[in-house]
Chain A
Amino acid sequence: MLNVGKIEEGFVLDHIKAGKSLSIYHHLQLDKLDCTVAIIKNARSNKMGKKDILKVECDINTLNLDVLAFIDHNITVNVIKDGEIVDKKELILPHEIKNVLKCKNPRCITSIEQGLPHIFVLADEKKEIYRCKYCEEKAGEPNSIW
Protein backbone atom coordinates (compact mmCIF):
# COMPACT_ATOMS: atom_id res chain seq x y z
CA MET A 1 0.00 0.00 0.00
CA LEU A 2 1.18 3.49 -0.86
CA ASN A 3 1.92 5.71 2.12
CA VAL A 4 1.59 9.47 2.03
CA GLY A 5 3.08 11.21 5.06
CA LYS A 6 1.31 13.42 7.59
CA ILE A 7 1.02 17.12 6.99
CA GLU A 8 1.99 19.53 9.77
CA GLU A 9 -0.29 22.46 9.03
CA GLY A 10 -3.26 22.57 6.67
CA PHE A 11 -6.30 20.47 5.95
CA VAL A 12 -7.29 17.06 4.76
CA LEU A 13 -10.40 16.51 2.67
CA ASP A 14 -11.51 12.98 3.38
CA HIS A 15 -14.34 10.81 2.07
CA ILE A 16 -14.28 12.31 -1.41
CA LYS A 17 -16.13 10.09 -3.86
CA ALA A 18 -13.57 7.97 -5.72
CA GLY A 19 -12.44 9.70 -8.88
CA LYS A 20 -13.66 13.17 -7.85
CA SER A 21 -10.48 14.52 -6.26
CA LEU A 22 -9.05 16.08 -9.39
CA SER A 23 -12.26 17.87 -10.15
CA ILE A 24 -12.36 19.24 -6.57
CA TYR A 25 -8.71 20.22 -6.90
CA HIS A 26 -9.66 22.43 -9.83
CA HIS A 27 -12.90 23.80 -8.38
CA LEU A 28 -11.14 24.87 -5.19
CA GLN A 29 -8.43 26.38 -7.38
CA LEU A 30 -5.75 24.49 -5.48
CA ASP A 31 -3.61 24.68 -8.61
CA LYS A 32 -3.17 28.37 -7.88
CA LEU A 33 -1.74 27.77 -4.41
CA ASP A 34 1.98 27.70 -3.85
CA CYS A 35 1.93 24.86 -1.33
CA THR A 36 2.19 21.11 -1.12
CA VAL A 37 -0.90 19.22 -2.28
CA ALA A 38 -1.28 15.45 -2.22
CA ILE A 39 -4.00 13.90 -4.33
CA ILE A 40 -4.77 10.36 -3.26
CA LYS A 41 -7.04 8.36 -5.54
CA ASN A 42 -8.89 5.13 -4.83
CA ALA A 43 -7.78 4.76 -1.22
CA ARG A 44 -9.40 1.87 0.65
CA SER A 45 -12.37 2.91 2.80
CA ASN A 46 -14.53 0.87 5.16
CA LYS A 47 -17.39 3.28 4.69
CA MET A 48 -17.19 3.87 0.94
CA GLY A 49 -15.19 0.97 -0.46
CA LYS A 50 -12.98 3.36 -2.37
CA LYS A 51 -12.46 7.04 -1.76
CA ASP A 52 -10.22 9.95 -2.70
CA ILE A 53 -8.33 12.17 -0.28
CA LEU A 54 -6.78 15.59 -0.70
CA LYS A 55 -4.05 16.81 1.64
CA VAL A 56 -3.24 20.48 1.41
CA GLU A 57 -0.53 22.21 3.38
CA CYS A 58 -1.91 25.73 3.70
CA ASP A 59 -4.23 27.91 5.79
CA ILE A 60 -7.83 26.59 6.03
CA ASN A 61 -9.09 30.11 5.30
CA THR A 62 -7.94 29.73 1.71
CA LEU A 63 -10.54 27.00 1.27
CA ASN A 64 -13.97 28.03 -0.03
CA LEU A 65 -16.16 25.81 2.11
CA ASP A 66 -19.31 26.97 0.32
CA VAL A 67 -18.02 25.66 -3.00
CA LEU A 68 -16.97 22.43 -1.36
CA ALA A 69 -20.36 22.01 0.35
CA PHE A 70 -22.08 22.65 -2.96
CA ILE A 71 -19.96 20.02 -4.70
CA ASP A 72 -20.43 17.39 -1.99
CA HIS A 73 -21.38 18.19 1.58
CA ASN A 74 -20.53 14.66 2.71
CA ILE A 75 -16.80 15.35 2.41
CA THR A 76 -15.01 15.47 5.77
CA VAL A 77 -12.80 18.50 6.32
CA ASN A 78 -10.07 17.90 8.92
CA VAL A 79 -8.06 20.88 10.07
CA ILE A 80 -4.48 19.95 10.95
CA LYS A 81 -2.11 21.76 13.30
CA ASP A 82 1.23 20.39 14.46
CA GLY A 83 0.46 17.17 12.65
CA GLU A 84 -2.78 16.55 14.58
CA ILE A 85 -6.46 16.94 13.71
CA VAL A 86 -7.62 19.94 15.74
CA ASP A 87 -10.98 20.57 14.14
CA LYS A 88 -13.51 18.98 11.82
CA LYS A 89 -15.48 21.43 9.73
CA GLU A 90 -19.07 20.53 9.02
CA LEU A 91 -20.12 21.31 5.49
CA ILE A 92 -23.51 22.96 5.32
CA LEU A 93 -25.26 23.65 2.03
CA PRO A 94 -24.82 27.38 1.51
CA HIS A 95 -27.95 29.53 1.17
CA GLU A 96 -26.51 30.97 -2.01
CA ILE A 97 -23.45 30.51 -4.16
CA LYS A 98 -21.95 33.37 -6.06
CA ASN A 99 -19.87 33.11 -9.23
CA VAL A 100 -19.43 29.37 -8.86
CA LEU A 101 -21.86 28.22 -11.53
CA LYS A 102 -22.89 29.94 -14.71
CA CYS A 103 -26.57 30.00 -15.53
CA LYS A 104 -27.05 27.91 -18.66
CA ASN A 105 -30.40 29.46 -19.60
CA PRO A 106 -29.76 31.45 -22.79
CA ARG A 107 -32.71 33.68 -21.92
CA CYS A 108 -31.29 34.65 -18.52
CA ILE A 109 -30.15 38.26 -18.03
CA THR A 110 -26.78 36.94 -16.86
CA SER A 111 -26.11 35.94 -20.47
CA ILE A 112 -25.84 39.58 -21.58
CA GLU A 113 -25.45 41.88 -18.57
CA GLN A 114 -21.79 42.58 -17.90
CA GLY A 115 -20.48 42.49 -14.36
CA LEU A 116 -23.55 40.76 -13.00
CA PRO A 117 -22.70 38.09 -10.42
CA HIS A 118 -24.03 34.62 -11.19
CA ILE A 119 -25.99 33.77 -8.06
CA PHE A 120 -27.76 30.50 -7.31
CA VAL A 121 -30.07 30.22 -4.34
CA LEU A 122 -30.85 27.03 -2.43
CA ALA A 123 -34.47 26.37 -3.43
CA ASP A 124 -34.89 22.90 -1.95
CA GLU A 125 -32.61 21.78 0.86
CA LYS A 126 -33.87 18.18 0.89
CA LYS A 127 -33.30 17.64 -2.81
CA GLU A 128 -30.26 19.95 -2.81
CA ILE A 129 -31.66 22.00 -5.65
CA TYR A 130 -30.25 25.40 -6.47
CA ARG A 131 -31.93 27.85 -8.80
CA CYS A 132 -30.69 30.93 -10.58
CA LYS A 133 -31.66 34.01 -8.56
CA TYR A 134 -32.72 35.84 -11.72
CA CYS A 135 -34.49 33.30 -13.94
CA GLU A 136 -35.05 30.34 -11.52
CA GLU A 137 -33.32 27.90 -13.89
CA LYS A 138 -32.21 24.80 -12.03
CA ALA A 139 -28.47 24.65 -11.42
CA GLY A 140 -26.56 22.02 -13.33
CA GLU A 141 -24.47 19.33 -11.70
CA PRO A 142 -21.51 20.59 -9.68
CA ASN A 143 -19.25 19.33 -12.45
CA SER A 144 -20.71 22.04 -14.70
CA ILE A 145 -19.01 24.48 -12.38
CA TRP A 146 -17.07 27.44 -13.80
Chain B
Amino acid sequence: MNPLDFTVEELDKLFDLADDIKADPKKYAHACEGKKLATCFYEPSTRTRLSFEAAMLNLGGQVLGFSDAGSSSASKGESVSDTIRIISCYADICAMRHPKEGAPMVAAGRSGIPVINAGDGGHQHPTQTLTDLLTIRALKGRLGHFTIGLCGDLKFGRTVHSLINALIRYPDIHFIFISPPELKVPDYIIDMLSEKGITYEEVIRLEDSIAQLDLLYMTRVQRERFFNEEDYVRLKDFYILNKEKMKLAKDDMLILHPLPRVNEISVEVDEDPRAVYFRQAQYGVYVRMALILTLLESACLS
Protein backbone atom coordinates (compact mmCIF):
# COMPACT_ATOMS: atom_id res chain seq x y z
CA MET B 1 0.00 0.00 0.00
CA ASN B 2 2.80 2.27 1.02
CA PRO B 3 6.58 2.09 0.64
CA LEU B 4 6.79 1.96 4.42
CA ASP B 5 4.99 -1.38 4.54
CA PHE B 6 8.39 -2.96 3.98
CA THR B 7 11.22 -2.50 6.44
CA VAL B 8 14.56 -1.36 5.05
CA GLU B 9 15.82 -4.93 5.45
CA GLU B 10 12.82 -6.34 3.57
CA LEU B 11 13.42 -3.82 0.81
CA ASP B 12 17.06 -4.87 0.61
CA LYS B 13 15.93 -8.48 0.18
CA LEU B 14 13.45 -7.42 -2.52
CA PHE B 15 16.12 -5.46 -4.37
CA ASP B 16 18.61 -8.34 -4.07
CA LEU B 17 15.98 -10.58 -5.66
CA ALA B 18 15.40 -7.99 -8.42
CA ASP B 19 19.17 -7.87 -9.03
CA ASP B 20 19.24 -11.65 -9.29
CA ILE B 21 16.31 -11.62 -11.74
CA LYS B 22 18.14 -9.02 -13.84
CA ALA B 23 21.32 -11.10 -13.81
CA ASP B 24 19.62 -14.40 -14.69
CA PRO B 25 16.03 -13.94 -15.96
CA LYS B 26 15.85 -17.54 -17.26
CA LYS B 27 16.07 -18.86 -13.71
CA TYR B 28 12.70 -17.22 -12.97
CA ALA B 29 10.97 -17.85 -16.31
CA HIS B 30 8.64 -20.48 -14.82
CA ALA B 31 8.49 -19.28 -11.22
CA CYS B 32 4.80 -18.28 -11.42
CA GLU B 33 3.51 -20.97 -13.75
CA GLY B 34 -0.16 -21.65 -13.06
CA LYS B 35 -0.59 -18.33 -11.24
CA LYS B 36 -2.74 -15.43 -12.39
CA LEU B 37 -2.32 -11.70 -11.86
CA ALA B 38 -5.45 -9.52 -12.04
CA THR B 39 -4.74 -5.96 -13.16
CA CYS B 40 -7.67 -3.85 -11.96
CA PHE B 41 -7.09 -0.41 -13.41
CA TYR B 42 -9.96 1.99 -12.69
CA GLU B 43 -8.11 4.75 -14.50
CA PRO B 44 -5.94 4.41 -17.57
CA SER B 45 -2.22 3.85 -17.11
CA THR B 46 -0.82 1.84 -19.95
CA ARG B 47 2.73 2.03 -18.67
CA THR B 48 2.21 0.73 -15.15
CA ARG B 49 -0.32 -1.88 -16.28
CA LEU B 50 1.98 -3.20 -19.02
CA SER B 51 4.90 -3.23 -16.59
CA PHE B 52 2.89 -5.44 -14.21
CA GLU B 53 1.72 -7.64 -17.05
CA ALA B 54 5.23 -7.97 -18.47
CA ALA B 55 6.51 -8.84 -15.00
CA MET B 56 3.95 -11.65 -14.57
CA LEU B 57 4.48 -12.97 -18.10
CA ASN B 58 8.26 -12.98 -17.54
CA LEU B 59 7.63 -15.17 -14.51
CA GLY B 60 5.61 -17.65 -16.57
CA GLY B 61 2.26 -16.58 -15.08
CA GLN B 62 -0.88 -15.29 -16.75
CA VAL B 63 -2.76 -12.01 -16.55
CA LEU B 64 -6.38 -10.88 -16.67
CA GLY B 65 -8.11 -7.64 -15.80
CA PHE B 66 -9.49 -4.37 -17.03
CA SER B 67 -7.84 -1.13 -18.00
CA ASP B 68 -10.43 1.51 -17.18
CA ALA B 69 -13.44 1.82 -14.91
CA GLY B 70 -15.80 2.00 -17.90
CA SER B 71 -15.07 -1.59 -18.84
CA SER B 72 -15.49 -2.87 -15.27
CA SER B 73 -18.48 -3.43 -13.04
CA ALA B 74 -17.59 -0.12 -11.32
CA SER B 75 -19.50 1.55 -14.17
CA LYS B 76 -22.59 -0.30 -12.85
CA GLY B 77 -21.92 1.09 -9.40
CA GLU B 78 -20.17 -1.88 -7.81
CA SER B 79 -18.07 -1.03 -4.78
CA VAL B 80 -14.34 -1.73 -4.55
CA SER B 81 -15.04 -4.12 -1.66
CA ASP B 82 -17.40 -6.23 -3.77
CA THR B 83 -15.17 -6.19 -6.84
CA ILE B 84 -12.12 -7.44 -4.96
CA ARG B 85 -14.10 -10.26 -3.35
CA ILE B 86 -14.99 -11.46 -6.84
CA ILE B 87 -11.47 -10.95 -8.23
CA SER B 88 -10.13 -13.04 -5.32
CA CYS B 89 -12.02 -15.99 -6.82
CA TYR B 90 -10.39 -15.55 -10.22
CA ALA B 91 -6.75 -14.64 -9.55
CA ASP B 92 -3.87 -15.29 -7.16
CA ILE B 93 -2.69 -11.69 -6.84
CA CYS B 94 -4.06 -8.30 -7.83
CA ALA B 95 -2.53 -4.98 -8.88
CA MET B 96 -5.02 -2.15 -8.43
CA ARG B 97 -4.96 1.43 -9.65
CA HIS B 98 -7.83 3.66 -8.60
CA PRO B 99 -8.49 7.41 -8.82
CA LYS B 100 -9.81 7.43 -5.24
CA GLU B 101 -7.18 7.62 -2.53
CA GLY B 102 -7.15 4.63 -0.21
CA ALA B 103 -9.12 2.36 -2.59
CA PRO B 104 -6.40 -0.35 -2.73
CA MET B 105 -6.22 -0.28 1.08
CA VAL B 106 -9.96 -0.94 1.25
CA ALA B 107 -9.53 -3.73 -1.30
CA ALA B 108 -6.68 -5.31 0.66
CA GLY B 109 -8.86 -5.38 3.77
CA ARG B 110 -11.58 -7.32 1.96
CA SER B 111 -9.43 -9.47 -0.28
CA GLY B 112 -8.39 -13.09 0.05
CA ILE B 113 -5.35 -12.51 -2.17
CA PRO B 114 -2.43 -10.06 -1.99
CA VAL B 115 -3.31 -6.62 -3.38
CA ILE B 116 -0.62 -4.31 -4.73
CA ASN B 117 -1.34 -0.59 -4.81
CA ALA B 118 -0.57 0.42 -8.40
CA GLY B 119 -1.41 4.06 -7.63
CA ASP B 120 -4.30 5.66 -5.75
CA GLY B 121 -5.29 9.18 -6.76
CA GLY B 122 -2.69 11.73 -5.73
CA HIS B 123 -1.76 9.69 -2.68
CA GLN B 124 0.74 6.83 -3.13
CA HIS B 125 2.39 4.97 -5.96
CA PRO B 126 4.55 2.45 -4.11
CA THR B 127 5.69 0.29 -7.05
CA GLN B 128 6.99 3.38 -8.81
CA THR B 129 8.88 4.13 -5.60
CA LEU B 130 10.34 0.63 -5.55
CA THR B 131 11.38 1.21 -9.16
CA ASP B 132 13.00 4.52 -8.23
CA LEU B 133 14.83 3.04 -5.27
CA LEU B 134 16.09 0.06 -7.26
CA THR B 135 17.27 2.38 -10.05
CA ILE B 136 19.12 4.62 -7.59
CA ARG B 137 20.66 1.65 -5.79
CA ALA B 138 21.75 0.01 -9.04
CA LEU B 139 23.15 3.13 -10.70
CA LYS B 140 24.46 5.08 -7.70
CA GLY B 141 25.50 2.03 -5.73
CA ARG B 142 23.84 3.27 -2.57
CA LEU B 143 20.61 4.45 -1.00
CA GLY B 144 21.50 7.38 1.21
CA HIS B 145 24.19 10.06 1.48
CA PHE B 146 22.96 12.25 -1.37
CA THR B 147 21.12 15.44 -2.23
CA ILE B 148 18.00 14.85 -4.28
CA GLY B 149 16.03 17.50 -6.13
CA LEU B 150 12.36 16.85 -6.79
CA CYS B 151 11.03 19.09 -9.51
CA GLY B 152 7.60 19.90 -10.97
CA ASP B 153 4.22 18.95 -9.56
CA LEU B 154 5.05 18.18 -5.94
CA LYS B 155 1.52 18.75 -4.69
CA PHE B 156 -0.43 16.16 -6.65
CA GLY B 157 2.49 13.99 -7.79
CA ARG B 158 2.00 10.77 -5.88
CA THR B 159 5.31 9.37 -7.10
CA VAL B 160 7.03 12.20 -5.29
CA HIS B 161 5.14 11.63 -2.03
CA SER B 162 5.89 7.92 -2.05
CA LEU B 163 9.55 8.48 -2.87
CA ILE B 164 10.02 10.97 -0.04
CA ASN B 165 8.37 8.56 2.41
CA ALA B 166 10.74 5.83 1.34
CA LEU B 167 13.93 7.89 1.26
CA ILE B 168 13.58 9.34 4.74
CA ARG B 169 14.59 5.98 6.18
CA TYR B 170 18.04 6.17 4.63
CA PRO B 171 20.85 8.19 6.15
CA ASP B 172 22.03 11.66 5.21
CA ILE B 173 19.52 12.63 2.56
CA HIS B 174 18.95 16.29 1.78
CA PHE B 175 15.82 17.20 -0.17
CA ILE B 176 15.47 20.17 -2.48
CA PHE B 177 11.88 20.76 -3.55
CA ILE B 178 11.70 22.70 -6.80
CA SER B 179 8.18 23.76 -7.70
CA PRO B 180 5.89 26.68 -8.38
CA PRO B 181 4.21 27.91 -5.18
CA GLU B 182 0.88 26.46 -6.40
CA LEU B 183 2.33 22.95 -6.59
CA LYS B 184 4.44 22.78 -3.41
CA VAL B 185 4.74 19.56 -1.39
CA PRO B 186 1.79 19.10 0.99
CA ASP B 187 2.18 20.37 4.53
CA TYR B 188 2.00 16.90 6.08
CA ILE B 189 5.22 15.94 4.32
CA ILE B 190 6.96 19.13 5.40
CA ASP B 191 5.74 18.51 8.98
CA MET B 192 7.05 14.95 8.86
CA LEU B 193 10.50 16.04 7.62
CA SER B 194 10.72 18.73 10.31
CA GLU B 195 9.75 16.27 13.04
CA LYS B 196 12.36 13.78 11.90
CA GLY B 197 15.04 16.45 11.60
CA ILE B 198 15.54 15.79 7.89
CA THR B 199 16.93 18.76 6.01
CA TYR B 200 15.11 20.26 3.05
CA GLU B 201 14.89 23.42 0.98
CA GLU B 202 12.02 24.75 -1.08
CA VAL B 203 13.06 26.68 -4.16
CA ILE B 204 11.28 28.01 -7.21
CA ARG B 205 13.92 27.96 -9.95
CA LEU B 206 15.58 24.75 -11.15
CA GLU B 207 18.72 26.64 -12.26
CA ASP B 208 19.35 27.83 -8.71
CA SER B 209 19.79 24.39 -7.23
CA ILE B 210 20.71 21.96 -10.01
CA ALA B 211 24.46 22.26 -9.31
CA GLN B 212 24.02 20.84 -5.80
CA LEU B 213 22.15 17.73 -6.86
CA ASP B 214 23.28 14.11 -6.97
CA LEU B 215 19.87 13.09 -8.26
CA LEU B 216 17.19 15.06 -10.06
CA TYR B 217 13.70 13.60 -10.04
CA MET B 218 11.54 15.30 -12.66
CA THR B 219 7.76 15.01 -12.75
CA ARG B 220 5.03 15.82 -15.20
CA VAL B 221 2.42 18.45 -14.46
CA GLN B 222 -0.60 16.20 -14.86
CA ARG B 223 -3.68 17.53 -16.61
CA GLU B 224 -6.00 15.15 -14.73
CA ARG B 225 -4.95 16.52 -11.32
CA PHE B 226 -6.30 19.98 -12.08
CA PHE B 227 -9.85 21.08 -11.54
CA ASN B 228 -9.68 23.53 -14.45
CA GLU B 229 -7.85 23.75 -17.75
CA GLU B 230 -6.71 27.34 -17.22
CA ASP B 231 -4.53 26.42 -14.20
CA TYR B 232 -3.06 23.49 -16.10
CA VAL B 233 -2.08 25.57 -19.12
CA ARG B 234 -0.56 28.28 -16.92
CA LEU B 235 1.69 25.88 -14.97
CA LYS B 236 2.60 23.03 -17.29
CA ASP B 237 5.65 24.65 -18.88
CA PHE B 238 7.02 26.10 -15.68
CA TYR B 239 10.02 23.76 -15.43
CA ILE B 240 11.73 22.41 -18.48
CA LEU B 241 15.06 20.61 -18.27
CA ASN B 242 17.24 21.25 -21.33
CA LYS B 243 20.89 21.03 -22.38
CA GLU B 244 21.63 24.50 -21.02
CA LYS B 245 20.46 23.63 -17.52
CA MET B 246 22.29 20.30 -17.69
CA LYS B 247 25.56 22.21 -18.14
CA LEU B 248 25.15 23.43 -14.58
CA ALA B 249 24.70 19.92 -13.18
CA LYS B 250 27.33 17.57 -11.74
CA ASP B 251 28.92 15.07 -14.12
CA ASP B 252 27.49 12.14 -12.19
CA MET B 253 24.05 13.55 -11.44
CA LEU B 254 21.30 11.17 -12.49
CA ILE B 255 17.98 12.33 -13.98
CA LEU B 256 15.02 10.18 -13.06
CA HIS B 257 11.43 10.54 -14.22
CA PRO B 258 8.43 8.29 -13.55
CA LEU B 259 7.29 8.83 -17.17
CA PRO B 260 5.40 9.65 -19.29
CA ARG B 261 6.96 13.04 -19.85
CA VAL B 262 5.23 15.80 -21.72
CA ASN B 263 7.82 18.49 -22.34
CA GLU B 264 9.49 18.92 -18.94
CA ILE B 265 12.61 17.20 -20.27
CA SER B 266 13.70 18.27 -23.75
CA VAL B 267 14.37 15.32 -26.05
CA GLU B 268 17.90 16.69 -26.54
CA VAL B 269 18.64 15.57 -22.96
CA ASP B 270 17.80 11.93 -23.79
CA GLU B 271 21.27 11.33 -25.23
CA ASP B 272 22.98 12.60 -22.07
CA PRO B 273 24.41 9.61 -20.16
CA ARG B 274 23.00 11.13 -16.97
CA ALA B 275 19.45 10.65 -18.29
CA VAL B 276 18.40 7.25 -16.89
CA TYR B 277 14.61 7.45 -17.13
CA PHE B 278 14.27 4.83 -19.85
CA ARG B 279 16.49 2.41 -17.93
CA GLN B 280 14.30 3.16 -14.92
CA ALA B 281 11.30 1.64 -16.76
CA GLN B 282 13.26 -1.60 -17.22
CA TYR B 283 14.12 -1.68 -13.51
CA GLY B 284 10.38 -1.27 -12.93
CA VAL B 285 9.72 -4.64 -14.51
CA TYR B 286 12.43 -6.33 -12.43
CA VAL B 287 11.18 -4.90 -9.18
CA ARG B 288 7.56 -5.82 -9.96
CA MET B 289 8.70 -9.36 -10.73
CA ALA B 290 10.47 -9.47 -7.38
CA LEU B 291 7.39 -8.07 -5.64
CA ILE B 292 4.96 -10.53 -7.25
CA LEU B 293 7.26 -13.43 -6.34
CA THR B 294 7.68 -12.25 -2.77
CA LEU B 295 3.96 -11.65 -2.18
CA LEU B 296 2.92 -14.93 -3.75
CA GLU B 297 5.47 -16.77 -1.61
CA SER B 298 4.16 -15.12 1.56
CA ALA B 299 0.56 -15.83 0.50
CA CYS B 300 1.47 -19.51 0.11
CA LEU B 301 3.12 -19.56 3.53
CA SER B 302 0.19 -17.90 5.28
Contacts and interface: CB of A to CB of B under 8 A. Distances in A.
A138 B188 contact: yes
A138 B123 CA distance: 13
A134 B102 contact: yes
A109 B191 contact: no
B100 A136 contact: no
B288 interface: no
A108 B100 contact: yes
A107 B81 CA distance: 17
Interface in B208-253: none
Nearest to B99: A107
B100 A112 contact: yes
Interface string B96-135: 0011111101100000000000001111000000000000
Contacts, number: 59
A117 to B, nearest CB: 10
Nearest to A116: B106
Contacts of B103: 109, 113, 134
Contacts of A135: 101-102, 120-121, 123
Contacts of A131: 188
B79 interface: yes
B80 interface: yes
A124 B191 contact: yes
A2 B90 CA distance: 70
A65 interface: no
Given A113-B81, A129-B191, A135-B101, 11 more contacts: A105-B101, A109-B106, A113-B80, A114-B79, A115-B81, A124-B195, A134-B103, A134-B106, A135-B102, A135-B121, A136-B101
15 contacts: A107-B99, A107-B121, A108-B121, A109-B98, A109-B101, A109-B102, A109-B120, A113-B100, A113-B103, A115-B81, A124-B191, A133-B102, A134-B101, A134-B103, A135-B121
